Amino acid sequence: MTLPTKKSRSLARAALAMSIVCGGCGAAPEEAAGEPATTTAGRTVTFEEFLGTVHQEADGRYIYDGDMPAYSMGELRQAWERMYPPNGALTAFPYNAYTDDVWPASTKLNITYCISNGFGTNKQAVISAMSAAGSAWAAKALVNFVYVPSQDANCTSANTNVEFDVNFATSTDTLASSFQPLTPRPQRTLYIYSVAFNPGTGWPLSGLLMHELGHVLGFSHEFRQPGASCTEGGGGRPITPYDSGSIMMYPWCGGSNTSTLSQSDMEGATQQYGSRVWTNAVSPGGCGAFPGGKGLDRGQTLSSCNQRFYLQHLPNGNLHLVKVDYTPTGSIHTEYWSSGTANQAGYGMYMQTDGNLVIYTGLGRAIWNTNTWGNPGSYLAVQNDGNLVIYSPSGQPLWNTGTGGQ
């Protein structure tokens, strides 16, 4: 990253001290413990919950956030949007037109590196900061950065005993630079420049390296997404909505965080590499129905028994129902319905044993559900007529997509 000529930092907003549970979403099969749930609105506080904290003065003014006035519902809504931006963050570097740039499964749990002795008296600080940064990404996502000190004496880009080398160079305007997962080995050097060790850069070394390891994992700058105050070309696939709290922001481009991964950074990383804290959905196999406890993982499908329709949890987290029309030369696939959850890090779709159909992120945060909890024994049917229906054990339809009669 390159330092701007003029910097400004905004302060991170204090963490919200209230815990909000996704009302009635219930637990997914084999729920992992300890992850905070949030509402399905994609914000930590819904507008309705925010209104619950607002009071109105005798003169008609609304007072929010303790002492802030608003003169209309529209102003209140704007205030809420400012105070609680949507969760979300990462954008994947493209490898080509079809695939993201990610580490292969054979390497992602053993991404090895050496640290050059050229860091001199700063070397111990680099060792510690690399360890903290690697551990932050590996805390929730199925990746591991592994330091190999035995290669430090020969820690150059020509060393093929490690996946990458961490090296020192002199610069007055660049803090650090890195590379993307499928970059050829001779270019896989993470440089930390001399200026990064000066006090007052605005980036703690461990936070700076979290940002650089984000690039190493295949994530581009967050400010490629709409809403950011800086722009950068190059495309990329948004994995999650825009998030000013992402470590992949710059503080001088509206970023509010230089020291930790945001929730959506972690959700995006689990989306790309798999989760340590949330279980994959288990497909029921066969055709036509999901009993409680089954679901679809990213990319998986289940067809109606006449093979004319299929339900698919796309790798981008969207759940969609597709009609297949067979032609003499092949087949035409038409989307009939979708959950509208693309690019929100939807990790899997789970038909819960309580009757609720829920899409969770890789941290166990519910982003969408059918509100049909409290009906144990219900199942989800992918019908031959094109309708997607949740039936109670007595055969009552509880929810459907309204796409039947095909």
CB of 153 to Zn ion, least distance (A): 29
Q: What is the contact mask toward Zn ion in residues 206 to 245, using x (rule: CB under 5 A)?
A: ----------------------------------------
Which of 126, 104, 114 minimizes the C-alpha distance to 158? 114
Nearer to Zn ion among residue 208 and residue 321 (C-beta):
208
Minimum gap (Å) between residue 203 Cβ and Zn ion: 11
Nearer to Zn ion, 1 or 253 (CB): 1
Residue 277 touches Zn ion, criterion: CB under 5 A: no
User: Minimum CB separation from Zn ion for residue 263, in Å?
Assistant: 20
User: Which residue number has the CB closest to Zn ion?
Assistant: 1
Quickly list DSSP for 175-236. Answer: -EE---TTS-GGG-EEEEEGGGGSTTSSS-HHHHHHHHHHHHTTB--GGGSTT-SS---S--
Within 364-393, the residues that bind Zn ion by CB under 5 A are none
Contacts for 324 with CB less than 8 Å, ≥ 6 apart:
307, 308, 309, 310, 331, 332, 333
Residue number, 79 or 210, with CB nearest to Zn ion: 210
Torsion from C-alpha of 166, 171, 175, 180, nearest 10 degrees: -50
Whether 208 and 125 have beta carbons less than 8 Å apart is answered as no
Shortest distance (Å) from residue 149 CB to Zn ion: 26
Return all residues near 12 (Cβ < 8 A) that are at least 6 apart.
Answer: 245, 256, 257
344's tokens? 């929100």
Between residues 209 and 351, which has the closer beta carbon with respect to Zn ion? 209
Min dist CB 215 to Zn ion, Å, is 6
* C-beta separation of 167 from 155 below 8 A: yes
Least distance in angstroms from the C-beta of 274 to Zn ion: 24
Which span (1-9, 114-122, 196-204, 307-315) binds Zn ion, by CB under 5 A? 1-9
Dist. CA 348–CA 364, nearest whole Å: 10
253 near Zn ion, judged by CB under 5 A: no
Give the CA distances from residue 171 to residues 4, 6, 78, 174, 204, in Å, rounded to whole numbers and listed in that order. Answer: 14, 17, 43, 6, 17
Nearer to Zn ion, 1 or 182 (CB): 1
Q: At 163, is the secondary structure helix, strand, or coil?
A: coil
Rounded to whole angstroms, the Cα distance separating 108 from 103 reads 5
Q: Is 65 left (phi over 0), alpha (psi -120 to 50) or beta?
A: left
Spatial distance between the Cα atoms of 166 and 113, rounded to a whole number of angstroms: 7
Size of the site for Zn ion (CB under 5 A): 1
257 Rama sector, left if φ>0, alpha if ψ -120 to 50, beta otherwise = beta
262 in Cβ contact with 247 (< 8 Å) = yes
Between 214 and 346, whose beta carbon lies closer to Zn ion?
214
For the chain, helix, strand, coil in percent to 5 are 20, 25, 55
Give least dist CB 250 to Zn ion, A. Answer: 7
Helix (H) or strand (E) holding 137: helix 123-138
What's the min distance (Å) between Cβ of 316 and Zn ion? 23
Q: How many CB atoms lie within 10 A of CB 9?
A: 12
Q: Is residue 1 a contact point for Zn ion (CB under 5 A)? A: yes
Binding mask 132-171 for Zn ion (x = CB under 5 A): ----------------------------------------
Shorter beta-carbon distance to Zn ion: residue 136 or 349? 136
Residues within the interface to Zn ion (CB under 5 A): 1
